[in-house]
């Protein structure tokens, strides 16, 4: 899978998104460092088209259950409300993530 942006452009945009998450503005409240780390981990996976899955031995999904694997999700152009709806639907199919939504639904 080859995502549209070059490696340099991708890193630049990921850094820009990372900064946006941690800085408040009139339309956005910054997230804490712990949230930031988790959100960026999932964002990078989705941006690169790797997809996200629940690997927990106790509550994990089946081996071939992936959310958005093979799809490059760009947080600047993707409708994030739509993405969250898709994440909730994936949990209905694959099983709910027992980490309070940290896998897909937060923030």
Q: How far from chain centre, in Å, is Cα 53?
A: 11
For residue 81, CA distances in Å to 54, 59, 78 come to 21, 26, 9
b/e burial code for range 73-93 (CB count within 10 A of at least 16 → b): bbbeeeeeeebeebbeebbee
Task: Say if residues 72 and 1 touch (Cβ distance below 8 Å).
Answer: yes
Q: What is the pLDDT of residue 3?
A: 67
Average pLDDT, the chain: 82
What pTM, to 2 d.p., does this model score? 0.78
Q: Give per-residue pLDDT as tens, 56-67.
A: 767 778 888 899
Q: What is the pLDDT of residue 99?
A: 65
Q: Mean pLDDT across the stretch 33-56? A: 87
Q: How far from chain centre, in Å, is Cα 72?
A: 11
């Amino acid at each position: 899978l080859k995502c549209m942006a070059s490696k340099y452009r991708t890193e630049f945009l990921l850094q820009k998104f990372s900064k946006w998450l941690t800085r408040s503005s009139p339309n956005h409240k910054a997230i804490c460092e712990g949230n930031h780390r988790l959100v960026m981990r999932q964002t990078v996976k989705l941006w690169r088209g790797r997809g996200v899955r629940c690997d927990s031995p106790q509550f994990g999904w089946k081996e071939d259950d992936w959310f958005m694997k093979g799809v490059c999700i760009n947080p600047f152009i993707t409708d994030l409300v739509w993405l969250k709806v898709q994440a909730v639907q994936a949990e209905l199919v694959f099983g709910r993530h027992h980490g309070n939504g940290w896998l897909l639904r937060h923030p």
